[in-house]
Amino acid sequence: MKDYTSGGFTLPGEAGYEKLTLEMAKKWGADVIRDSDGTKLSPEITEAGYRIYSTICIIREHNEFARSHPDAQQQTFLFSEPRTAEGDRLEILPLEGYFEEQFQLNDSPEAMAYWQVWDRTAGRLLSPDEWEYAEGRVTVRGCIPYHRYSVSFLAWRIWEEINMYNHTTNNWQSEHLRQLDPRHPEAWTYLKDWLRNWCRNNPDTNVVRLTSLFYNFVWIFGSDLRRRTRFVDWASYDFTVSPAALKAFEQEYGYALTAEDFIHQGKLQATHRPPTARKRDYMDFIQRFVAEKARTLVEIIHSFGKEAYVFYDDSWVGMEPYGKYFVSIGFDGLIKCVFSGFECRLCAGAEVPVHELRFHPYLFPVGLGGLPTFSEGGHPEKDAWAYWLHVRRALARQCVDRIGLGGYLHLTIGQDAFNDAVEKMAKAFRHLKDLQSRCAPAELPLTVSVLHTWGALRSWTLSGHFHETDWNPLIHVNEALSGLPVRVKFIHFEDVRNGALRDTDVLINAGRAGDAWSGGDAWKSPETVSEVTRFVAEGGCLIGIGEPSAAEGGDSYFALAHVLGVDRDDGSFACHMPWEFTEEDSAPFFTDGESIGKTEGIRLTDPETRVLRACGGTPVLTLHDFGKGKAVYMGGFTYSPAAARMLLEMLLYLTGTDGKAAGHTDQPLAECAWYPAERTLVVMNNSDRPLEVNVSLPSETVRTNPGAGEMCFVQI
């Protein structure tokens, strides 16, 4: 039996702690040592026989160039808070309320051409002769009293947002880092030269680890500490904008984008909302630009005999791993930091040679949400283990090539429990990787299609980490699915109309009315609705969660109410009495009450709809036969191991599938992966106590006894 003690592990080295670095490399079985942003490895480390990753943030740390070329900096559209006119004249300071260290007005003539002033009360765009600008101030004349006016404008972003965040959070005193826009011709020439130089000067580096590309996710700070972050969206494109980009877009697409396409009444266009057709065009435009520029960088790195890995965060915008152009960039590896199972699947499924996970917690004194992870009172081993329970079940389905850590290695000193935990996880990871190198885990003959606005582009993810999006039921669904033995596809509405349901067994739609995950206006399409109706009528299954298929203007609130057997009364059905119902004593599959949420106003549309669970008189889990198919409705869904089990049992019940084909445990809090060709069973105890777990396999039953939280590998 192998001991899986080394390989596939990236250690963050630390200059000044050379001995520790090499010791920990040995303990954790590292084959790679990396630096971190802003640190440098010493020769004792780089020459110790390990492969070396070096971190580069390509658009940052060029302050001198930025100072001499201020027009090479990045920009964004912003809007002023609408102000009420009391007379016919109003003065507006556009940047009022924004963090003055992040933004600076772009009042150059080419930028001013994109500025707009809106009467937000009337929804009217003012003509340019109704307002004037001078010295940071917009004056609106001829106002209608008591209407509200707002200015949309371009601003320079003069502080790179990740640096700004670290600075303001940790009270750093160093110089603010600026960022360059690769669309600026001189900046682009400069950056390419800079990268060539860097590669030349860093001969020890095997892998250039890009953190990441050009455009940060949108993060807008306010001047008031009571709303320091005004807007943050991990997948919005506002920070890619510039007059040059807008002009290039107009030339290519034959129509011009305006400030309002971005500002959208001050709501901006968050990833959680369905995009306009114009935003879709713009995203594709940016994705091609980013891919083209990234390809050039990768070619430079390759020309020096180095590999190029990209870290999928920070300035990642436009390089979606499931986007149309990602493969064309030619990255050698994709690195994803993970808290959750869905992030493992997101990384593992991308088309790139090497998939690497960065585990949490980072080796930082203070962790997520200000917790004292590696400070006094912290328990980094508990945090690590909690994340591991999410991660390992996804790895058991689809493993990655490498794992690793980040941060300051010296923080591990004296943290024996954490160090041992990491060692244990690394071994388990290697075991799974080894198994999967020879044999795929058994999968049920069952394809789940998750339907939302973005489809494959946002496979597995919504917008950022779990805890950043956890008010959406879909992220909980994705997390549950990440460890289930089923095929998972992410499809959008055009996919549905193009026949994507033909190889779908269960369709899931989970979201809130009007959001990108439920679908919003997409459900106004009769073709989409009738295709899903056909799918279920002919024997397919549907799971709707929250406010699935909710759309304005139809004769029901859920466009699929007739299939689901439930609808929501948003007030439109005032005076219509609901069907009375009786909650069933027991459901035909395992259910977990704590994982099921409630949506107010749910009522039956068919007296035959079975109410498996209700809460305060409102159905929260229902089952409805429709034609030859079935539909489940859940008011909400919160991930937990029991929730994942409920989802699995629901899928088995709906499709009439026998779970044994992929191994089926008799304990809701235990799950397994079965590697038939290797005759190896991996049993995961997701509870905090030892369990006796009997696993049904296609031709036998295996009894195992995993300890609390343990993952055991059983050779049969």
Which residues are catalytically annotated?
Answer: 314
**Is residue 125 involved in binding a copy of itself (CB under 8 A)?**
no
The answer to whether 125 touches 249, Cβ cutoff 8 Å, is no
Q: Is the dihedral of CA 650, 651, 654, 656 positive or negative?
A: negative
Among 91, 135, 555, 594, binds a copy of itself (CB under 8 A): 555
Pick 579 or 653: Cβ nearer a copy of itself: 579
Instruction: Compute the least distance from the CB of residue 266 to a copy of itself, in Å.
Output: 5
Residue 89 engages a copy of itself in binding (rule: CB under 8 A): no
537 lines the binding site for a copy of itself (CB under 8 A) = yes
The structure tokens listed for 381 are 């081993």
Strands 664-665 and 693-697 come out as: antiparallel
Query: In the bound complex, what is the minimum distance in angstroms from residue 273's beta carbon to a copy of itself?
Result: 6
Number of residues near a copy of itself (by CB under 8 A): 62
CB 634 within 8 A of CB 591: no
Minimum CB–partner distance for residue 262 and a copy of itself (Å): 14
User: Which of 26-34, 299-307, 474-482, 528-536 is the region at the interface with a copy of itself (rule: CB under 8 A)?
Assistant: 528-536
How far lies 200's CA from each of 196, 204, 210, 270, 304, in Å? 6, 10, 16, 41, 7
Does position 268 interact with a copy of itself (CB under 8 A)? The reply is yes
Q: Which stretch binds a copy of itself (CB under 8 A): 367-375, 393-401, 404-412, 553-561?
A: 553-561
For 671-702, the three-class secondary structure string (H helix, E strand, C coil) is EEEEEHHHCEEEEEECCCCCCCEEEEECCEEE
Residues contacting 233, CB < 8 A, separation 6+:
217, 218, 268, 270, 271, 272, 463, 464
> Contacting a copy of itself (CB under 8 A), which of 44, 47, 86, 658?
86
Q: Which of 254, 377, 553, 656 binds a copy of itself (CB under 8 A)?
A: 553
As measured in angstroms, the least distance from the Cβ of 274 to a copy of itself is 11
93: contact with a copy of itself by CB under 8 A: no
Interface with a copy of itself includes 487 (CB under 8 A)?
A: no
Q: Does the footprint of a copy of itself cover residue 254 (CB under 8 A)?
A: no
Contact call for residue 102 and a copy of itself (CB under 8 A): no
Backbone angles phi, psi at 296, to 5 degrees: -60, -45
Neighbours of 147 (CB within 10 A): 17
Q: Is 147 in the site for a copy of itself (CB under 8 A)?
A: yes
Assess 164 for contact with a copy of itself (CB under 8 A): no
- Assign residue 68 a region (left: φ > 0; alpha: ψ between -120 and 50; beta: otherwise): alpha
- Residue closer to a copy of itself (CB basis): 601 or 709: 601
When asked if residue 502 is in the footprint of a copy of itself (CB under 8 A), the reply is no
8 Å CB contact between 682 and 711: yes
Nearest alpha-carbon partner for 51 in 64, 60, 59, 41: 41
Q: Does 705 bind a copy of itself (CB under 8 A)?
A: no
Residue 571 interacts with a copy of itself (CB under 8 A): yes or no: yes
Of 514, 659, 676, 709, the one binding a copy of itself by CB under 8 A: 514
- Residues 509 and 545 sit within 8 Å (Cβ to Cβ): yes
- Does residue number 515 form part of the binding site for a copy of itself (CB under 8 A)? yes
Residue 572 is a binding residue for a copy of itself (CB under 8 A): yes
Q: What are phi and psi of 152, to 5 degrees?
A: -105, 135
Phi then psi for residue 713, to 5 deg, are -105, 120
For a copy of itself, which stretch binds (CB under 8 A), given 245-253, 271-279, 420-428, 478-486?
271-279
446 or 510: CB nearest a copy of itself: 510
Q: Tokens 């030859």 appear where?
A: 628
DSSP SS3 for 332:
coil
In the complex, minimum distance from the CB of residue 99 to a copy of itself, in angstroms, rounded to a whole number: 13
**Closest approach of a copy of itself to the CB of residue 695, in Å:** 41
Integer Cα distance of 661 and 657 in angstroms: 9
Q: Report the residue number, 61 or 261, with the smaller CB distance to a copy of itself.
A: 261
CB of 593 to a copy of itself, least distance (A): 21
Candidate residues 577, 616, 689, 700; the one interacting with a copy of itself per rule CB under 8 A: 577
Residues 6 or more apart from 206 whose CB is under 8 A from it? 32, 51, 52, 53, 306, 307
Among residues 302, 322, 90, 341, the alpha carbon closest in space to that of 199 is found at 302
Residue 73 CA to its chain's centroid (Å): 27
DSSP β-bridge partners for residue 138? 92, 133
Residues from 210 through 239 that contact a copy of itself (CB under 8 A)? 218, 224, 226-227, 229-233, 236
Q: Which residues bind a copy of itself (CB under 8 A)?
A: 82, 84, 86, 120-123, 144-148, 150, 218, 224, 226-227, 229-233, 236, 265-268, 270-273, 463, 512-515, 526, 529-531, 533-534, 537, 552-555, 562, 570-581, 607, 627
